[in-house]
Amino acid sequence: MDKKANYKRYINAKVLIYLVLGLGSILMIFPFIWMLITSVKTIAETTRIPPTFWPDDIKNTAAYRSVTNSLPFFKLYLNTILMIIFRIICALVFSSTAAYALAKLNFRGKTLFFTIIITQLMLPSQIFIIPQFKMISQMGMTNTVFAMVFPGIVSAFGTFFLRQAYMGIPDDIMEAARIDGCNEFQIFYKITMPLTKTAMSALAVFTALIAYSDLMWPLIVNTNLNKLTLSAGLSTLRGQYVTNYPVLMAGSVLAMLPMIVLYLIFQKQFVEGIALTGTKA
C-alpha cells in the first residue's frame, strides 16, 4: 500500500518536472521562433490589426534581401570568423605554455606572475579599454581584424584555467619521459599538452562565445561597416530600421545562424566546455 502511494508520488513528481521544464523550454525557444516568423513577414503584416501569428507567405525573402543590401554580411561573417580563429589560437598557444610553466616548472618570479594573472581576472576589462583604443589608433590599426583580436592576444583566464589542467597531470609521466630522453619542450609539447585536450577545447568554446558576443570593443575600434563583427554590424541596424521589424529580425537570424549551427553540431562540447570553465575557475 505504502509502496503504491510512493510510486504515485514519484509519477506525479515526474509529470510536474516535465511540465515545468516543458513550459520553460517554450519560453526559451519562442523568441527565436518569433524571430524567424517575423523575418518572412512584410511590415504591413507585422502592424496588422487584429494581429496574425503565421506569415502569409513563408517564402517571402524581401526582408533578407533588404538586410543583405544594407549590411555586407559576407564580410561580417569573414571578420567574425577571423577574429574568433585568431583569438582561439592566441589563447590556446600562449596560455598553454604559460600554464605549463606555472604548473610544472620552477622559476623566480612565479608568485608575482601568478598574482598578476589573478589580479587581471578580478579587474573589469573595460578599465583597459581607453588606453587599448589609444594604442590601436596610434598604431593606425583601427578598422582591422588585428584591432579586434588585440585585447584577446593573451588570456589571463586561459592561463589560469589551463594551469588547473596541467596541475592534474602527475609528475611521474613527465619523469618517465625525461628518462626516455625527451627535453623539456618535448615533454610539454608531446606528452602533457595532448592530455589537456578537454580543457583546451573548453577554452576554445569559451573564447569563441566571448569574442562573438562582445559589442563594446568592436564598436569602438571599427567604424567602417565592412570591418565590423556580426554583433556590432547588427547593432548599426537599430538606428536605420527603427520600426522595420522584419528587416531587423532577418538581420538577427543571419547574425545568429553560424553560432547556432556550430552549437547544434557540437552541443555537447559547448555545454560541457562551459560547465568546465565555470566550475574549474
Partner 1 sequence: MNTKLKKKKQKKNLIAYIMIAPTMIGLVILNIIPFFETIRMSFYKSGSFGKWTFCGIDNYIKMFSSSGFWRSTWNTTYFVILTVPIGVFISLVLAVFLNAKIKGRTIFRAIYFLPMVVAPTAVAMVWKWMYNSEYGIINNFLRSIGISNTINWITNSKTALLACAIVAIWSAIGYDAILLLSGIQSISKSYYEAAKIDGASGIKQFFHITIPMVSPTLFFVIIMRAMTSLKMFDIIYMMIEERNPAIRSTETILMLFYKESFVNNNQGYGSAIVIWAFLIIGVVTLVQFIGQKKWVNYET
Considering only residues 54 through 83, tell me which ones interact with partner 1, judged by CB under 8 A: none
Cβ proximity to partner 1, 126 vs 181, nearer residue: 126
Of 244-263, which residues contact partner 1 (CB under 8 A)?
245, 248-249, 251-253, 255-256, 259-260, 262-263
Return the residue of 35, 62, 191, 225 that touches partner 1, per CB under 8 A.
35
27 binds partner 1 (CB under 8 A): yes
Angle between helices 197-213 and 73-104 (to 10 degrees): 140
Cβ proximity to partner 1, 85 vs 174, nearer residue: 174
Cβ proximity to partner 1, 173 vs 265, nearer residue: 265
Q: Identify the DSSP state of 190.
A: I
Cβ proximity to partner 1, 14 vs 65, nearer residue: 14
Q: How far is the CB of 249 from partner 1 (least distance, A)?
A: 7
34 binds partner 1 (CB under 8 A): yes
**Long-range contacts of residues 61-67, Cβ cutoff 8 Å, at least 24 apart:** 62/246, 63/39, 63/244, 63/246, 63/247, 63/249, 63/250, 64/39, 64/250, 64/254, 66/244, 66/247, 66/250, 67/237, 67/247, 67/250, 67/251, 67/254
Q: How far is the CB of 220 from partner 1 (least distance, A)?
A: 5
Q: How far is the CB of 56 from partner 1 (least distance, A)?
A: 16
Cβ proximity to partner 1, 60 vs 189, nearer residue: 189
Q: Which stretch binds partner 1 (CB under 8 A): 63-71, 141-149, 193-201, 214-222?
A: 214-222
Q: Identify the DSSP state of 152.
A: G
Cβ proximity to partner 1, 58 vs 93, nearer residue: 93
Q: Which stretch binds partner 1 (CB under 8 A): 18-26, 55-63, 169-177, 192-200?
A: 18-26
Residues 6+ apart with CB under 8 A from 134: none
Q: Identify the DSSP state of 192.
A: I
Distances (CA, A) of 244 to 47, 91, 162: 10, 39, 46
206 binds partner 1 (CB under 8 A): no
Of 166-205, which residues contact partner 1 (CB under 8 A)?
184-185, 188
Of 88-147, which residues contact partner 1 (CB under 8 A)?
93-95, 97-98, 100-102, 105-108, 110, 113, 116-117, 120, 122-124, 126-133, 135
Q: How far is the CB of 203 from partner 1 (least distance, A)?
A: 14
**Long-range contacts of residues 232-235, Cβ cutoff 8 Å, at least 24 apart:** 233/71, 233/72, 233/73, 233/76, 234/71
Q: Which stretch binds partner 1 (CB under 8 A): 66-74, 169-177, 196-204, 264-272?
A: 264-272
Site size for partner 1, by CB under 8 A?
A: 93
Q: Where are the alpha helices (DSSP H) in 105-224?
A: 110-122, 129-138, 145-149, 156-167, 171-179, 184-186, 197-213, 216-221
Q: Considering only CA atoms, which of 29, 30, 43 is closest in space to residue 248? A: 43
CB atoms within 10 A of CB 118: 11
Q: Is it true that the peptide bond before 50 is cis, omega within 30 degrees of 0? A: yes
Contact 40, 57 (CB under 8 A): yes
